[in-house]
């Protein structure tokens, strides 16, 4: 949310009377404080103006913008509603109120705010983009694309419109256009940055000098790194160069064992590199990947021999309730569940139909937020007797070994999907109606991973119906012998 034009000095006119002179002085004090970087002083002046029930809408919008810049959302909505009451035809206020409503999950009222802003100013790029985001998340992809294109027609440099346009294009399978828009992720207001930057030139795609390596550096989350680091050998093969890979520390052993690069380099060592070129890890655009072209066989991830042997022994010794192990993961990181990831997780209790299948032993592969649900769920007794020992192990090497011991992994869209599928384990992915771009809009298979089966909500939010279908299919496969016990 940006401060309004004429920050802190909108409206007013010539002062008449002592009260008006005092208000004008407070507005000027707020302006001077802002120019000096004194946010506390500016806030005090604006608070006094609010207490005086100022009729200047800029007082409320500017105080709201100031609080937003400080990540203090509590008072934003009443301030913006007061500004809107004073200035109902201001598209900026409608747009800013919509952004606040999105942050607290009130998506329908937010959409109405963005639509009002667009109606008042049909060439307002930020409002067009915000409206398009909600239409895209709701599945109206063509309408969203048209809105993004209107925003870009009004302002071709509007990075947020470019970046957000990538999602519906990729989701529909238009990787050629979508991956071009994906490159704008570094130019948005809160840019997506690599986890480290070596002191080397960015690779521009030209042939590399002899002996110069290509350094690939992770960005975004663990799932992105797990998915895209497995593409490094394709780039090495096509370019005929050596490749150094730098990923999150917890993923480095998996990358090393899979032989994904000539060398895996910790982020801390990147400043010491003196030769080569570098590139952020998301590689589909560089490789010209298309969902209609199957990927070649990629090196599988694998746990260490020690972790594999240890967890095989622990699970074999457990007096478990059923002979078929199914690993479960139901929740991603809530901090990331905004925009297109909103709604990807589900409560563990909704997986109860799986617990009703007598042949199963459930294994929780959940770590962090959500793992506390195991203790209180109604089917706790269906989990492995070794669950407590597994819960104490957080290393990705251990997680990989546990997933490898499962006949099947069933997971919401999270890093666990990419770990289990990267191991080559049968992996069923539970997807919301409008999923992340990498899973597309239709089909039960994924060109990214041969071992993945996609399960899609028939209606937005209908996890219960989806889980019933998953449980029925799993039970039928067990009866047919397609999933044999140990």
Give me the DSSP letters along 383-414: B-TTHHHHHT---HHHHHHHHHT-SEEEEESS
Q: What is the mean pLDDT of residues 445-454?
A: 97
Quick check: 68 pLDDT over 50? yes
Residue 303: φ, ψ to 5°: -75, 170
Q: Which helix (H) or strand (E) holds 317?
A: helix 305-317
**CATH architecture group of domain 17-186:** Alpha Horseshoe (1.25)
**Under DSSP, is residue 333 helix (H, G, I), strand (E, B) or coil?**
coil
Domain positions in the chain are 17-186, 193-299, 305-480
Dist CA 426 CA 320 (whole Å): 21
Give yes or no for a contact between 276 and 213, defined as CB atoms under 8 angstroms apart.
yes
- Assess whether pLDDT exceeds 70 at residue 198: yes
Q: Greater confidence, 39 or 325?
A: 325
User: How far is Cα 117 from Cα 80, in angstroms, rounded to an integer?
Assistant: 14
| CB atoms inside a 10 Å sphere around CB 212 | 15
Q: In this structure, which CATH number among 3.40.50.2000, 3.30.420.40, 3.40.640.10, 3.30.70.870 belongs to the domain 305-480?
A: 3.40.50.2000
The token pair at 370 is: 């959500």
Q: What's the CA gap between 350 and 179, in Å, rounded?
A: 35
Instruction: Identify the pLDDT of residue 7.
Output: 26
**Percent of the chain, pLDDT > 90?**
77
- What is the H or E stretch that residue 430 is in? strand 427-431
Summary mean pLDDT of the chain: 91
List 279's β-bridge partners, or say none.
216
Angstrom distance (rounded) from CA 48 to CA 26: 8
Helix, strand, coil % over all residues of the chain, rounded to 5: 50, 10, 40
* 11-20, 110-119, 222-231, 325-334, range with the lowest pLDDT: 11-20
17-186 and 305-480 share one fold: no
pLDDT-derived band at 17, boundaries 50, 70, 90: low
Residue 17's Cβ-count burial label (10 Å; 0-12, 13-18, 19+) is: exposed
Query: Quick check: helix, strand or coil at residue 452?
Result: strand
pLDDT at 297 over 70: yes
Say how far apart CA 433 and CA 447 lie, in whole Å.
19
Is the model's pLDDT at 11 over the cut of 70?
A: no
Tokens 């130019």 sit at which residue? 187
Q: Which residue has the tokens 């925009």?
A: 339
Contact 414, 390 (CB under 8 A): no
β partners of residue 216 = 245, 279
Q: How confident is the model at residue 65 (pLDDT cuts 50, 70, 90)?
A: confident
403-448 tens-digit pLDDT: 999 999 999 999 999 999 999 999 999 999 999 999 999 999 999 9
**DSSP code for 194:** B
Asked if 169 and 145 count as a contact pair (C-beta separation under 8 A), the reply is yes
pLDDT over 50 (residue 82):
yes
Across 26-40, 238-252, 388-402, least confident range = 26-40
- pLDDT, average across residues 68-92: 89
Whether residue 265 is predicted with pLDDT greater than 90 in this model: the reply is: yes
Q: Identify the weakest region by mean pLDDT among 196-210, 333-347, 451-465.
A: 333-347
How many Å apart are CA 212 and CA 339, to the nearest integer?
39
pLDDT at 14 over 60: no
425, 451 contact by CB (below 8 A) = yes
How confident is the model over 124-158, as pLDDT tens digits?
999 999 999 999 999 999 999 999 999 999 999 99
Q: Record the tokens describing residue 305, joined without a space.
A: 């021999």
CA pair distance 349, 464, nearest whole angstrom: 10
Task: Encode burial over 189-208: b for 16+ CB neighbours within 10 A, e otherwise.
Answer: eeebebbbebebeebeeeeb
């Amino acid at each position: 949310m940006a401060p309004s034009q004429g920050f802190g000095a909108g409206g007013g006119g010539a002062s008449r009377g002592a009260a008006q002179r005092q208000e004008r002085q407070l507005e000027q004090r707020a302006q001077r404080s802002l120019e000096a970087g004194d946010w506390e002083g500016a806030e005090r002046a604006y608070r006094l103006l609010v207490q005086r029930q100022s009729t200047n809408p800029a007082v409320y919008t500017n105080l709201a913008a100031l609080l937003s810049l400080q990540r203090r959302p509590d008072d934003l909505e009443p301030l913006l509603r007061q500004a809107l009451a004073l200035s109902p035809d201001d598209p900026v206020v409608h747009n800013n109120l919509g952004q606040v409503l999105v942050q607290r999950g009130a998506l329908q009222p937010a959409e109405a705010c963005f639509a009002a802003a667009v109606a008042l100013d049909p060439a307002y790029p930020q409002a067009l983009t915000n409206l398009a985001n909600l239409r895209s998340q709701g599945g109206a992809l063509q309408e969203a694309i048209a809105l993004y294109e209107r925003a870009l027609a009004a302002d071709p440099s509007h990075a947020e419109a470019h970046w957000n346009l990538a999602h519906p294009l990729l989701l529909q399978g238009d990787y050629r256009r979508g991956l071009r828009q994906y490159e704008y992720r570094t130019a948005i207001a809160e840019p997506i940055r690599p986890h480290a930057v070596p002191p080397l030139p960015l690779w521009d795609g030209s042939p590399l000098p002899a002996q110069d390596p290509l350094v690939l550096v992770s960005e975004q989350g663990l799932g992105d790194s797990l998915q895209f680091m497995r593409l490094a050998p394709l780039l090495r093969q096509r370019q005929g160069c050596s490749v150094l890979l730098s990923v999150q520390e917890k993923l480095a052993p998996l990358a090393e064992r899979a032989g994904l690069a000539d060398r895996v380099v910790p982020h801390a060592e990147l400043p010491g590199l003196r030769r080569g070129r570098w590139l952020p890890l998301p590689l589909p655009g560089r490789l010209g990947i298309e969902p209609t072209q199957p990927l070649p066989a990629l090196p599988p991830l694998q746990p260490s021999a020690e972790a594999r042997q240890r967890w095989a022994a622990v699970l074999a010794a457990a007096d478990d309730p059923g002979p078929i192990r199914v690993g479960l993961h139901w929740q991603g990181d809530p901090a990331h569940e905004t925009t297109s990831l909103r709604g990807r997780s589900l409560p563990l209790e909704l997986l109860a139909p799986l617990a009703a299948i007598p042949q199963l032993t459930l294994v929780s592969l959940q770590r962090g937020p959500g793992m506390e649900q195991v203790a209180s769920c109604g089917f706790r007794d269906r989990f492995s007797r070794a669950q407590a020992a597994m819960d104490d192990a957080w290393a990705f090497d251990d997680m990989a070994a546990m997933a490898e011991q499962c006949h099947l992994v069933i997971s919401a869209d999270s890093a666990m999907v990419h770990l289990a599928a990267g191991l080559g384990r049968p992996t069923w992915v539970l997807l919301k109606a409008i999923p992340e771009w990498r899973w597309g809009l239709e089909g039960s298979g994924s060109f990214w991973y041969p071992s993945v089966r996609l399960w899609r909500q028939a209606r937005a939010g209908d996890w219960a119906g989806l889980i019933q279908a998953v449980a029925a299919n799993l039970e039928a496969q067990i009866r047919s012998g397609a999933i044999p016990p140990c």
